[in-house]
């Protein structure tokens, strides 16, 4: 399988970003997630998956540059569609639709009435699990922040005991990333 280069991925982001601000927010986040994921895995697939995972966010901006936060949960499936339209292999498209939270199940979609087709959106491969986990440590808030494992543990607990356990399992499996040097380099706080 031919995987796109860093430069090609940056081009893809630039082509789909509705504004310079959206590009800066999403691409920087993807770069950071790739750096964090790189602490857990040297796999080129992990790097590419991390760099692409949030491209679907671009499809949530309206003509006035506002993000449709009510449908934010759809950014994964929107990204999967976008990459499929770009002709990228299925294994890469899946990183978009299989990184949200600590994994969404069919029951989550049904019970929370999420605007998604009823299906499981879980990390199936090791590479998907690394990207999903790394993504939890940086957030595209205003301003963006790095999120410590302790803070994410509290955050995820609000979504139920099963989600808290899933994160605990990932934490035990991969360990905690070192966020200090990245926070200093990018100038974002660690919460
Ligand atoms: Fe993300």
Instruction: Give one DSSP letter per residue of 101-150, joined into a string.
Output: TT-B-HHHHHHTT-SS-SS-B---SHHHHHHHHHHTTEE--SS-EE--HH
CATH topology of domain 6-186: Hypothetical protein af1432 (1.10.3210)
Task: Work out the average pLDDT over 3-16.
Answer: 97
pLDDT of residue 2 exceeding 90: no
Rounded Cα–Cα distance for residues 151 and 27 (Å)? 23
Q: How far is the CA of 121 from the centre of ligand 1 (A)?
A: 15
Q: What is the pLDDT of residues 126-154, one digit of tens each?
A: 999 999 999 999 999 999 999 999 999 99
Percent of the chain with pLDDT over 70: 100
**Could you tell me the pTM of the whole model?**
0.96
Q: What is the pLDDT of residues 72-89, one digit of tens each?
A: 999 999 999 999 999 999
Q: How far is the CA of 53 from the centre of ligand 1 (A)?
A: 6
Q: How far is the CA of 168 from the centre of ligand 1 (A)?
A: 19
Reported confidence tier of residue 21, pLDDT bands at 50, 70, 90: very high
Reported confidence tier of residue 190, pLDDT bands at 50, 70, 90: very high
Question: Exposure pattern of 161-170 as b/e (b: 16+ CB <10 Å)?
Answer: eebbebbeeb
Q: What is the pLDDT of residue 166?
A: 96
pLDDT of residue 105 exceeding 90: yes
pLDDT of residue 61 exceeding 90: yes
Q: How far is the CA of 2 from the centre of ligand 1 (A)?
A: 23
Task: Work out the average pLDDT over 34-55.
Answer: 98
Rounded Cα–Cα distance for residues 170 and 190 (Å)? 20
pLDDT of residue 34 exceeding 90: yes
Rounded Cα–Cα distance for residues 3 and 9 (Å)? 10
Rounded Cα–Cα distance for residues 36 and 14 (Å)? 22
Alpha-carbon torsion (83, 85, 89, 90), positive or negative: positive
Closest listed residue to residue 94, CA positions, set 126, 58, 141: 126
When the pLDDT of each residue in the chain is averaged and rounded to a whole number, the result is 96
Q: How far is the CA of 63 from the centre of ligand 1 (A)?
A: 23
């Amino acid at each position: 399988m031919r995987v796109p280069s860093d430069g090609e991925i940056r081009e893809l982001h630039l082509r789909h970003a509705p504004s310079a601000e959206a590009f800066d927010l999403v691409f920087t986040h993807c770069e950071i997630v790739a750096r964090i994921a790189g602490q857990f895995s040297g796999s080129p697939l992990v790097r590419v998956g991390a760099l692409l995972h949030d491209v679907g966010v671009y499809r949530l901006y309206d003509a006035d540059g506002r993000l449709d936060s009510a449908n934010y949960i759809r950014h994964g499936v929107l990204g999967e569609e976008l990459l499929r339209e770009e002709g990228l292999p299925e294994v890469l498209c899946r990183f978009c639709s299989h990184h949200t939270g600590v994994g969404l199940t069919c029951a989550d979609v049904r019970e929370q009435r999420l605007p998604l087709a009823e299906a499981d959106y879980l990390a199936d491969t090791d590479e998907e699990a690394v990207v999903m986990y790394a993504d939890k440590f940086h957030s595209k808030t205003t301003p963006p922040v790095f999120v410590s494992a302790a803070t994410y543990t509290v955050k995820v607990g609000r979504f139920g005991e099963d989600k808290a356990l899933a994160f605990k399992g990932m934490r035990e499996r991969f360990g905690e990333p070192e966020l200090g040097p990245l926070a200093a380099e990018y100038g974002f706080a660690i919460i």
